Amino acid sequence: MIFDSIKNEVKANNLTRENNYKIVTNIPLLREMEKAGFVKLHRETGKRVGLLYSPKTTVATYVYEAKDNFYFLGKHYQKKYFDGCFMPYVIEILK
C-alpha cells in the first residue's frame, strides 16, 4: 500500500498542470505550517524511510491532519487524500 501511495504521489506531481496543484514536499515549509497551526505532522516527517517492496528510500512527508483550506505565506493550500493513503497530503493550489 505504501508503494501505491508513492506511485500516486509521483503521478500527482507529474499531472500538476492538469490538476492545478502540486504536493508540498518541502519539509522546512511543512514545519513552518505546523508552527503556525495549519497542520500536524507525524514524528517521521522529514526522515528518510524505506519503500515497501523496494530497496529505494524517500523522505517522509506524513501529515496527520491539516486544515481543509488555508493561505500561508501568500499561497493557497488544501488538504487532499489520495487512493490508498491513510494520511492526507498538503497541496499547493496553482493559479
Identify the CA nearest to 92 among candidates 39, 42, 35, 37.
39
Cβ contacts of 20 within 8 Å, gap of 6 or more: 93, 94
pLDDT (tens digit per residue) in 37-92? 999 999 889 999 888 888 999 888 889 999 999 999 999 999 999 887 788 999 99
User: Can you tell me the mean pLDDT for 14-40?
Assistant: 87
pTM, full prediction: 0.74
> CA–CA distance from 26 to each of 29, 38, 90 (Å)?
5, 15, 10
